[in-house]
Chains A and B, each alone.
Chain A
Amino acid sequence: MTCSDFLKELTDYLDGAMDAQTQAELEDHLQWCHNCYVVCNTTKMTIEIYRDSHLYELPEDLRGRLRAAILSKCHSLKSHSAKASAQPDSSQTKS
């Protein structure tokens, strides 16, 4: 297995989405290839740092305002459609 072969499989390896034989081959490569070991390890850290970073968290006050705005529009859409279905079609009632 070359380093290039290893890199192609890196995503499936990190996600644990591969058969046992391929996994064993990759782990064998990691035993002796320091560069691939470092790339694998630091890629895993990259994912974990982003996952745990709480980057772009929604502040609670903004969250409340957005929810209120969404729900108020939902209510007006609902009452609008209820009125529309309750009103008989005037062209039909006249005829």
Chain B
Amino acid sequence: MATIQPKVAESADETSLVHAAKAGNISAFEELVKRYDRNVFRIAQHITQNREDAEDVVQDAFLKAYQNLANFQEQSKFYTWLVRIAVNEALMRLRRRRPERMVSLDEDIKTEEDTMPREVADWAPNPEQLYTQGELKEILGKTIQGLPPSFRTVFVLRDVEGLSTEETAEALDLSIPAVKSRLLRARLQLRERLSKYFRNRIGGDGKK
């Protein structure tokens, strides 16, 4: 079975852009914004589940990055550093909206149940084709919204944005085993929840 390949490509000239931005070149910083604004928006909306908050996170994360460029030691990639800022901004907004609920990346809900699959029916060969684009987005959005914030944050960084396990650990200030454990449970919980939409309906018409 083929393995999953990362999505984000490396860029050769990023270091020179960062250096130019540090020296006060706003056009260089604009290039960095253009390069990563879509990623930051996706991450922010996955975490906050709110469009307005995601817009604010994009603005505030880039501004914070700009203001703190001098403190960026370049021991990690600029993108990993930026993601760390964006995740913190997003979690802060989520806490503000849901003060009654604890929102923490340390949240680690451990039960035997969430790693032992209950639904093991096979899926239709091209499950995404069972639904229209709009229906599919609604299903995927609703499903990921049901995960604890700490799980969906790890899932979006690793599996949607293609950060490595090490980069995810660094961006979230978690250990590598903690990232792996949350990722496994996020993947299995999403799979379990999606099964009811995507399982093979033998003898049916292939529609819901």
Complex partner residue of A11 from B1, B46, B122, B184, CB under 8 angstroms: B184
Is A57 part of the contact surface with B, judged by Cβ < 8 Å? yes
Residue numbers in A under 8 Å from B1 (CB-CB): 30, 40-41, 44
Q: How many residues on chain A are close to B (CB under 8 Å)?
A: 45
Complex partner residue of B58 from A12, A47, A55, A66, CB under 8 angstroms: A66
By the criterion CB–CB under 8 Å, are B123 and A58 in contact?
no
By the criterion CB–CB under 8 Å, are B4 and A56 in contact?
no
Complex partner residue of B46 from A54, A56, A74, CB under 8 angstroms: A56
Q: Number of contacts between A and B (CB, 8 Å)? A: 139
Stretch at the interface among B28-36, B73-81, B90-98, B100-108: B28-36
- Knowing A42-B191, A50-B190, A67-B37 touch, does A73 contact B127 (C-beta < 8 A)? no
Instruction: State which residues 153-180 of B face A: CB under 8 Å.
Output: 155, 159-160, 162, 165, 180
Q: How far is the CB of A23 from chain B (nearest CB, A)?
A: 10
Residue numbers in A under 8 Å from B67 (CB-CB): 77
By the criterion CB–CB under 8 Å, are A47 and B4 in contact?
yes
Nearest to B66 among chain A residues (CB) is A74
By the criterion CB–CB under 8 Å, are A12 and B180 in contact?
yes
Instruction: State which residues 42-70 of A face B: CB under 8 Å.
Output: 42-58, 62-63, 66-67, 69-70
Describe A's contact surface by its main secondary structure. helix
Residue numbers in B under 8 Å from A17 (CB-CB): 165
Q: How far is the CB of B41 from chain A (nearest CB, A)?
A: 4
Residue numbers in A under 8 Å from B128 (CB-CB): 49, 52-53
Per the bound structure, the CA–CA distance linking A13 and B58 in Å amounts to 34
By the criterion CB–CB under 8 Å, are A39 and B191 in contact?
yes
- Knowing A56-B42, A74-B26 touch, does A46 contact B187 (C-beta < 8 A)? yes
Q: 1/0 per position for B3-15, CB-CB distance to A under 8 A?
A: 1100100000000
The 9 closest A-B pairs by CB, nearest first: A16-B3, A56-B45, A58-B41, A11-B184, A46-B191, A35-B120, A43-B191, A70-B62, A56-B42
A-B contact pairs, 17 of them (CB 8 A): A7-B117, A10-B184, A11-B187, A12-B180, A17-B165, A40-B1, A49-B127, A50-B155, A51-B162, A55-B144, A58-B41, A66-B58, A70-B33, A70-B58, A70-B62, A78-B24, A78-B26
Q: Using a CB–CB distance below 8 Å, which chain B residues touch chain A?
A: 1, 3-4, 7, 24, 26, 29-30, 33-34, 37-38, 41-42, 45-46, 54-55, 58-59, 62-63, 66-67, 115-117, 120-123, 127-128, 136-137, 140-141, 144, 155, 159-160, 162, 165, 180, 183-184, 187-188, 190-191, 194-195, 198
